[in-house]
Structure formats: C-alpha cells, structure tokens
Chain A
Amino acid sequence: MGSKTDVWQGTLALMILRTLDTLGAQHGYGIARRIEQISGDRLSVNYGTLHPALLKLEQEGAIASEWGQSENGRRAKFYTLTRRGRTEMARASRDWAETTAIMARFLEEGGEA
C-alpha cells in the first residue's frame, strides 16, 4: 500500500457514515473512492479493511445493504444509511469534533512553548 496511510479502524466507520450521508446509497468501490478523494489521496482503503467495517455497521443497524444496479448497469451491493445510523453519525461527529478541538489546543500550546 506504499506510502499511503492505512485508515484507522475507529475513524473509518465515521467516514463511511458521512460518505453515505452525503452521497446517498453507494457501493463499496464508491465509498472507498470517496474516502480516498476527500483525504486528498492520503488514505488508501482496501476491501480487507472496508468490508469488515461495513459488516460491523450493518450488524449494529447503522447501515443497510441491498443488491441493485449501478449507473452503468452493473449488479452491485448498495449500502444506505438507516435512521439509527444517522443518529449514530451525529453523535460520533460531535464526539470527534470535541476530541480534535481538545487535541488542537494541546498541539497549539506545545507549539508556543
């Protein structure tokens, strides 16, 4: 996977939820591409990481999956956000924002010293 950073497990779930929230129903490739693009290609997402995370979210009831047709007529499995997933996303986003804000302060302080 070269120089690109592997995604951390904890953050991947939130990234998936946000992707589905923004784009609506998506298949695995779409989700992976989107996450890589948003990260400015600094992250690489392979299916060995993505699919266990998708399955975990599905087991938790945050997303649902269904087979359907892609825009160019291919059969693929599409993932959609559920209501539970939306709530979960809101909660996780808030937590994460708070964490980063706190971390940012520490990093600023460290910079000043």
Chain B
Amino acid sequence: MTRLRVTARRLGGLLNRDRHDAELREELESLAALQLEDQLAHGVPEAEARRRVLARTGNVTAVQEAVRDQRGLAWLLAIVRDARIGVRLLRRSPVFALTAVASLALGLGANAAIFSIVDHLLLRALPVRHADRLLMIDTGSLTYPIWEQVRARAGEFDGAGAWANQEMATRLDGVSRREQAMYVSGGLFELLGVVPVLGRTITTEDDRRGGGPHGPVAVISHAYWERAFGRNPNVLGRTIVVERVPFTIVGVMPPSFFGPEVGRSFTVALPFGAEPLIRGSSSVLDERRNWWLNVLIRRRVDQTEAQVAAALRAMQPAIREATRTPNPDYLTDPLGVTSAEQGRSVLRGRYRDALWVLMGASVVVLLVTCANVANLLLARTQARRAEMSVRLAMGAPRGRLIQQLVVESAVLSVIGALVGVLVALWTARLIVAQISTPAAPVTLDVALDWRLVLFTTLVAALVTPLFAIVPALRATRLAPAEAMREQSRSVTGEGTQTLGQALVLGQIAASLVLVVLAGLLVGTFTKLAYRPLGLESRRIAVASLSLQPDSVPEGERAGLYERVRRQLAGLPGVADTTLAAIAPLSGPGWNSGVVDIDGTEVGGDRPARMVWMNAVSDGFFATYGIPLRAGREVSAADAADGPPVMVVNETFVRRFIGSGSAVGRRVRSGVPGRPETYGAYREIVGVVGDALYRRDLRREVEPTVFIPLTQVDGPVGESITISVRSRAADASSLVGPISQAVESADGRLTSQVVAHQVFVRTALTQERLIATVAGLFGGLALLLAVVGLYGVTAYAVSRRRGEIGVRLALGATPRRVLGLVLRRVAVLVALGIVAGVAVSMWAGEAVRVLLHGLEPSDPRTLIGAAAILLVTGGLAGAIPAWRAARTPPAVCLREP
C-alpha cells in the first residue's frame, strides 16, 4: 500500500521539476538565514558562522540532485537520460540509424499487417451484444420456407434471425449504382444488439410480405450515410430506390456494424418481406429449392450449444414435412449449429490456411530482421569498444553500461515500431485491395486501432532483447586492458566474429526458406494463371443482363435478348456474340445427373454421374473459341419444338461413352432413382473440346452438357448473359461501348459488363494475394540477408586490412587475396543454403494445401532459390573482398 503511494507520488514528482527545484532552493536559503541568525545570536563570529552554514548546506545543486533522485524515480530518469543519449548517438550516425530503423519498421510492419488481417478475419468477435451466445446454422444456406419454419419455433431459443447478401441497383437523386444490399428478417438487428445511431431498425412488422404498415422501409449503414448523405441528420424519411422500388429510410446503423458477415459490408438492408416487391412473380420466398439465406440463433443463457443443436434436430422432421421437395435427400443431413461469435465469413474459410502460412512467414521475416539489427549493433558496439573500455576503466559499473546500450536499442525499436505501424496500415490496405474484386468487394476496417498498436508494441518489446542484449554483453565484456591493446594494429583472431557469422548464416537460411516459399506460391499462381482454360478468355467480354421484375412479358423476353445481342454484334471490333444462361467461369453453376444413355444405366454414385449444364445460343463455341471435335454446334435452327439436342464436351464422352462415337447417342438426365425428375431423351449432336466451367482453376474440366437456350424447360428467365468476342486480342476496350449499347437498348434492362479476364482474376484472388505477399517477404528477407552478409564481410575485411597489406606486400596476388576472403563467404553462404534447404523441406508440408501442380520439395524451386542466394550472397561478399584486394599494400600498412 505504502509502496504504491510512494510510487504514485514519485511518478508525480517527475512533473514540475523546475517548480520543485525552485521551492527547495527557497527552503535552503531560508534555512541558511535562520542558521546564520541563530549562530550570530549565540555570539559566534560572523566568518565562522558563515563557514558553518556552508558546511551544513553544502552545494545547493548537489542537494537538489540528491532530493531529485528521491523525488522522481531515479531509474526512470536514468532511462530517459539514456534514451536521450541514444537519440543523439543515432542522429550522429544516420546511415546506421536508417538501416536499423528501416529493417525494424519493415519486419514489425509486415507482422502487424498480417496480424491486423488475421485479427479482423479470424480473431475478432462481431461488434454486437451477446456475441458469445450467437450460433449459426452451419449446414449451409437455407431456403425461405425453412426459415419460416425455424422462425415459427424461435421461442425455443432466445430468438432467431436470417439474412441474405445481394447486390442491388440503387438510385438516389438520379444516380444509379450497384450496392451491396442485404435482406434481413424483422428483428435481426435487435437480436444482434445493434443500436441505430439514427431512427430505428427493421421490425417484425416491417417484415411482412409486400411491406408493413409503414410501406417498404430500409435502413442504411453508417458508411453509406456518410458517403451518400454527408451524415445529414434529416436522412430519415428520405426515399431510396432499390431495383426501381422506392424505400423509405427509417434508420442509420452504428459505424461499428458492418453486417453479420466479417469482411463484407452492406449499404442498404431491406426486410425479406420486400423481396416480392423487387422480384415480382419470380420471388423466391416460396421457392423450396432456392438455398440463399443464413440463419442465426441466439441461445438462452441456460442453453448449451449442444442443446440448441438437439432442439433443431428435434424440429427437423416437422420442418422437412412442411417444406417437402421431390428430392429424396432433401433436408436429411442433420441441422447443426456453430458458434457465430466471430460472424460468418466466406473469406475466413477461404483464406485461413493462407493467412496462417503468411503469419508464419512474417515471423520468419521478423527473425531475419532481428538478426540483421543484432548484426548492425554488433558491428557498432565493436566500433565503440574503445569508449566502453575507457568507461569501464574509469569505474563505470558494467550493468549501467549494458543498461545504456539496451536502452539505445530500445530507442531503435520504438522508432521502428512507430514507422512499422504505418507500414502495417499501408500493407494491410494493399492486401485488402488485392483480395477485393469487383464481383465481391471486401470491406475490412483496417484502421489504426489500439489492438494493432498494442500488437506492434508487444512484438517490438519482445524482439528488442533478442537483438540488443547479446551485443551489449559483448561490448562490455572485455577487460579494459585487452580492449586498449586491440586498438593497436595487429593480426587479430577471428573469434569475436563467430557470433556475427552465425547470425548471417541464420539469415541466409531463413531467407532461403522464404524465397522457396515465395517460389512455390508464385509457381502455383503461374501454373494456375497459365493453365489452359479451353477457351479464349482474353478476347471475350461478358454482359450480364437482368430485366426489371415483371417488366417484360415472358413471351417477349427471348426476342428482346436476341435484339440486344444483334445490337452488340453490330459494334465495331466485335467478331462473334452468343447468349448463354451462364458465362463460363463467372461463378454460378447448374448441374444435373446422367441417368442412362440409349436406355443403358450409366451406373455409379451420384458424384460420378454429375454433369455441369449450360444453355446456349448459336455461336457459343465460336465466341469462346472452343473447338468442335465431332458433329455440329448448337444452331439457330434448334427450335423449342424441334427434336431435343445437346452438345457435350470430350470429358463427358470419356466418362460416359468411352471409345465409340458419341454423336447420335441419346441421353436422359435427372436425379437418378427419381423417375419423376427425368427429362426427355436428348440426342448428342456434337462434341466439343474441354473448357473450364466453374470458377475454380484448381479443378480439372468436368463433364459438361450444352443444350439450346430455346429448349430450356419453363418460361424464359429474367436474366441472361451475352458474351462478345473481340476481333482484337484483348476485349477490355469493348467493355465501355458494350455498356453504353446495353444501357440505351432498353430501359427495362440493368446490366453489368466485364472483360472475361475479370472472372479469371477473381478465381485467382487468393493465389495472387499470397504469392504477392510471400514474394514481398522473400525479397525483403533476401535484401536483409544480403545487407547482413555485406556488413559482416566488410567488417571482417576491415579488421584484416593489416594482414592483407602484409600479404600483398610479400607478393600475394590480388586474386589470392580475393580468394582468401571469398572462400569464407562461400562457406558461410553454402552452410546457410544447406540449412535453409533442410528447413524448407521440413516446413514444406505446411504449405502443401496452398500448392497446385508443385510438390513442397519441388527440386526446381529449391535449386532456383539456392541459386538466387548464391549469386546475391556471392555479390554481397565479393564487393568488399574485391575492394580489399585492390587496396595498395602501403595504404593498408600505413593505417593504424
């Protein structure tokens, strides 16, 4: 207790130093006067009295210092003093300071950047109330009918809510934009404990089909409120048009809330009940086969996660019965829940492995950084041996000198950490920008926050001793006499260098590991980026069209699509055009199962019978550059009432038909085992080359079936894609003209036009991200290792100048001297490479999941990385060696 009070008072004593000093001086002066009067009154002669006063008071400054030590915390003052000296010394050697601070800033920054992303994606809980009690149905997306059933039984829990993300066209003050919107169930925000900054949230009343008592209402995110309304407090009651339906804004959400999905933000949230207003007759609210929303459950305080799961499974048969579909497997997998504390995130699943690997890599970068700074400090303390030995000789306690050196290093750390935080912010934003694609924008609130600063500070505090203590011990270890002697020129031993060399060896090994990692990831990326797609992506632009709900009668849609297509075909530079239900690699998929061919069951389980389906118009294969192998393409003559036909790819033929001719065979598809789902027999009229269908470049081409667009069951849908083939090698210049043409073609259309390469790039987002970051890390580590090697060699050479001079004077050729130095560099580099290769092969398994087409121990990558290190390392060592060999012997010998 007393200790605490004393410490508090002493901390307080650090403030107002001048005032305290002045008061003490005044007190001493008054005491001196008192004493003098007292002495004189007792008859002491004035001269003697004054002497006695002086003897008692002594030197005022000395008293002040003694009191100051007691007043403030002496050790703290000493540290502050050391830090000041440290800063002064750093300013005197800017090159050293810059190198060390830059190393630390990059090392710490790289770590903090990865940390901030890992923190947001993997560690941080949703910024909502009772996040620990939130559970999510983890069986995947659900249908709206299922959600209605769960909602009816939500009383078993402390509430349930649903949401679905969707991109929607919004119109505000005459400006149209596509925004990330989300449908929410009434009360979802209350369930999450999100309190609006303005207005209210969406209630159960609002969530009625066709709108609640207040008509169609919407709430907006804080970011959108800032962006679109300039934080105007009068935003409540304004109208925002979403997909041509006017909504009244009734609330603004808090800035901390981005939506229930980490890494994804929303701008506008609408009640599910408003969906029929937007989609009209194609509303999916009653659609039992449209799995599109996510369900959150908040468990009661007295409920466990297992009890919630059990309750769900108990209600599952009733839910299944109420929402039956023809699919025999419908809703048979038991429903389960998982903690939703950190919010759902597709990103998290997709990037978890990659982020952990990058986190590991950034730790290695940090270690390389530490080794580098330690080496710099070592070289510097060697240079300060004279100073240290003099101070030791004059009686400075060793502990005090070590403290000063460590504090000096800490100064470096602090500056490095400060710059590092900035590096981290910049890098993290760069990484987020890399993950984000136009089709799936990623919003991570990577901002300067206390977690990031705390992390950087902690890491800096953790690593400072790593690089500071050993050099400090070294510098103060030697006996003064020995150090003095070393000042004179002599042929010195090499013992003092072992540590520096070991550090460099470690650096070389670590950077080799990182270069290998970068090589593997870049190799994977290139393999995927240059894998044959089977189609000519670069030449193609894709317009995805959708009609306003119920704006175009079903019978007129096909004609409208065909008209737009012809308009696009007329644009300059367009070679071919085609309509397709799904543009290859664009993301969506449609699959079916093959039942039998010419009456013969194909056999096998369901995955083995699975085929990807697409519906296309004439010109599809010409547009995509997919070669025809046999028979004919889908043509304009394949009418709705004509004989049902299909074109299949070569993989289809290999999987289901084998060696014979495929053309003329008749195929029936549907859900195997459920005859009511079987379609009519379709005749194979053509075989085309293999082309990728799904947006997953790691997969092989799977069996694919193309049917004429005209022969799709049911009415023509409200959305379609038009793919355009450019005459030029690159279709991106067509994107603008196509957008304009579609925009002016028909007012009932909304469209999104992209170059097909965007799909490929999107498919490679993760690979590109980790290859880029790993490449950066590898390059950084390599640079640091080279600097370290250069430093050690240069230092070794400078210490052996005398010896080299003698050798040269005695007739050694410069070549021999060069060899002398280089031999040691070569040994160092070779040992480092061997160690690095060993570690790489051992650690390689950890990254196997991220690779494609490469083994973790890919010999070409290992050899390549070793060669890079050999060359750069050799150069770093050769430059000082060459300079040494070129020095005239007289110069070497004359120098002290």
Interface residues, chain A, CB within 8 Å of chain B?
A: 1, 27-29, 32-33, 44-49, 51-52, 55-56, 59-61, 70, 72, 74-77
Known: A29-B35, A60-B5, A60-B6. 10 other contacts (CB 8 A): A28-B27, A29-B34, A45-B56, A47-B31, A47-B56, A47-B58, A48-B62, A51-B66, A72-B37, A77-B27
In the complex, what's the smallest C-beta–C-beta distance from A2 to chain B, in angstroms? 9
Residues from chain A with a CB closer than 8 A to the CB of B31 are 27-29, 47, 76
Q: Do the beta carbons of A61 and B56 come within 8 Å of each other?
A: no
Bound form: Cα–Cα A89–B136 in Å: 66
Q: Do the beta carbons of B57 and A52 come within 8 Å of each other?
A: no
Q: Which of B9, B37, B58 contacts A48 (CB 8 A)?
A: B58
Q: A60-B5, A77-B27 are in contact. Are A46 and B69 (CB under 8 A)?
A: no
13 A-B residue contacts at CB 8 Å?
Answer: A27-B30, A28-B31, A44-B56, A47-B31, A48-B58, A48-B66, A51-B24, A52-B66, A55-B67, A59-B70, A60-B2, A76-B30, A76-B31
Q: Which of A1, A47, A55, A70 contacts B28 (CB 8 A)?
A: A47
Q: Which of B5, B6, B30 contacts A77 (CB 8 A)?
A: B30
Q: Do the beta carbons of B67 and A46 come within 8 Å of each other?
A: no
Residues from chain A with a CB closer than 8 A to the CB of B27 are 28, 76-77
Interface residues, chain B, CB within 8 Å of chain A?
A: 2, 5-6, 9-10, 13, 24, 27-28, 30-31, 33-35, 37-38, 55-59, 62-63, 66-67, 69-71
Q: Please list the 7 inter-chain residue pairs (A to B) with the smallest Cβ-Cβ separation, ordered nearest first.
A: A52-B70, A59-B9, A29-B31, A48-B63, A77-B27, A76-B30, A55-B70
User: Please, which residue of chain A has its CB at the minimum distance from the CB of B36?
Assistant: A29
Q: Do the beta carbons of A46 and B58 come within 8 Å of each other?
A: yes
In the complex, what's the smallest C-beta–C-beta distance from A41 to chain B, in angstroms? 12
User: Please, which residue of chain A has its CB at the minimum distance from the CB of B37?
Assistant: A72
Q: Do the beta carbons of B70 and A56 come within 8 Å of each other?
A: yes
* Most B Cβ at <10 Å: residue of A29, A52, A61: A29
In the complex, what's the smallest C-beta–C-beta distance from B844 to chain A, in angstroms? 61
Residues from chain A with a CB closer than 8 A to the CB of B28 are 47
Q: Do the beta carbons of B70 and A74 come within 8 Å of each other?
A: no
Q: Do the beta carbons of A59 and B67 come within 8 Å of each other?
A: no
Q: Do the beta carbons of A32 and B56 come within 8 Å of each other?
A: yes
Residues from chain B with a CB closer than 8 A to the CB of A28 are 27, 31
Bound form: Cα–Cα A9–B535 in Å: 91
In the complex, what's the smallest C-beta–C-beta distance from B38 to chain A, in angstroms? 7
Q: Do the beta carbons of A46 and B56 come within 8 Å of each other?
A: yes
Q: Do the beta carbons of B5 and A29 come within 8 Å of each other?
A: no
* Most A Cβ at <10 Å: residue of B9, B31, B37, B67: B31
Q: Do the beta carbons of B67 and A52 come within 8 Å of each other?
A: yes
Bound form: Cα–Cα A47–B55 in Å: 9
Residues from chain B with a CB closer than 8 A to the CB of A27 are 30-31, 34
Bound form: Cα–Cα A32–B63 in Å: 15
In the complex, what's the smallest C-beta–C-beta distance from B865 to chain A, in angstroms? 62
Bound form: Cα–Cα A49–B35 in Å: 17
Residues from chain B with a CB closer than 8 A to the CB of A45 are 56
Bound form: Cα–Cα A97–B55 in Å: 32
User: Please, which residue of chain A has its CB at the minimum distance from the CB of B65?
Assistant: A48
User: Please, which residue of chain A has its CB at the minimum distance from the CB of B71?
Assistant: A55
Q: Do the beta carbons of A59 and B57 come within 8 Å of each other?
A: no
Residues from chain A with a CB closer than 8 A to the CB of B57 are 46-47
Bound form: Cα–Cα A47–B67 in Å: 9
* Most B Cβ at <10 Å: residue of A28, A46, A48: A48
In the complex, what's the smallest C-beta–C-beta distance from B613 to chain A, in angstroms? 84
Residues from chain A with a CB closer than 8 A to the CB of B5 are 59-61
Q: A51-B63, A52-B69 are in contact. Are A1 and B34 (CB under 8 A)?
A: no
In the complex, what's the smallest C-beta–C-beta distance from A81 to chain B, in angstroms? 16
Residues from chain B with a CB closer than 8 A to the CB of A48 are 58-59, 62-63, 66
Q: Do the beta carbons of B10 and A59 come within 8 Å of each other?
A: yes
In the complex, what's the smallest C-beta–C-beta distance from A33 to chain B, in angstroms? 8
Residues from chain A with a CB closer than 8 A to the CB of B56 are 29, 32, 44-47
Residues from chain A with a CB closer than 8 A to the CB of B69 are 52
Residues from chain B with a CB closer than 8 A to the CB of A44 are 55-56
Bound form: Cα–Cα A27–B33 in Å: 12
Bound form: Cα–Cα A45–B35 in Å: 13
Q: Do the beta carbons of B67 and A51 come within 8 Å of each other?
A: yes
Residues from chain A with a CB closer than 8 A to the CB of B55 are 1, 44, 46
Q: Do the beta carbons of B30 and A74 come within 8 Å of each other?
A: yes
Bound form: Cα–Cα A52–B27 in Å: 13
Bound form: Cα–Cα A60–B6 in Å: 6
Residues from chain A with a CB closer than 8 A to the CB of B67 are 51-52, 55
Residues from chain B with a CB closer than 8 A to the CB of A60 are 2, 5-6
Bound form: Cα–Cα A81–B2 in Å: 16
Bound form: Cα–Cα A73–B69 in Å: 32
Bound form: Cα–Cα A48–B10 in Å: 18
Residues from chain A with a CB closer than 8 A to the CB of B9 are 59
Q: Do the beta carbons of A61 and B2 come within 8 Å of each other?
A: yes
User: Please, which residue of chain A has its CB at the minimum distance from the CB of B32?
Assistant: A29
User: Please, which residue of chain A has its CB at the minimum distance from the CB of B33?
Assistant: A74
In the complex, what's the smallest C-beta–C-beta distance from A5 to chain B, in angstroms? 15
In the complex, what's the smallest C-beta–C-beta distance from A6 to chain B, in angstroms? 12
Residues from chain B with a CB closer than 8 A to the CB of A49 are 66
Bound form: Cα–Cα A109–B100 in Å: 66
Bound form: Cα–Cα A52–B59 in Å: 14
* Most A Cβ at <10 Å: residue of B6, B34, B62: B34
User: Please, which residue of chain A has its CB at the minimum distance from the CB of B13?
Assistant: A59
User: Please, which residue of chain A has its CB at the minimum distance from the CB of B3?
Assistant: A60
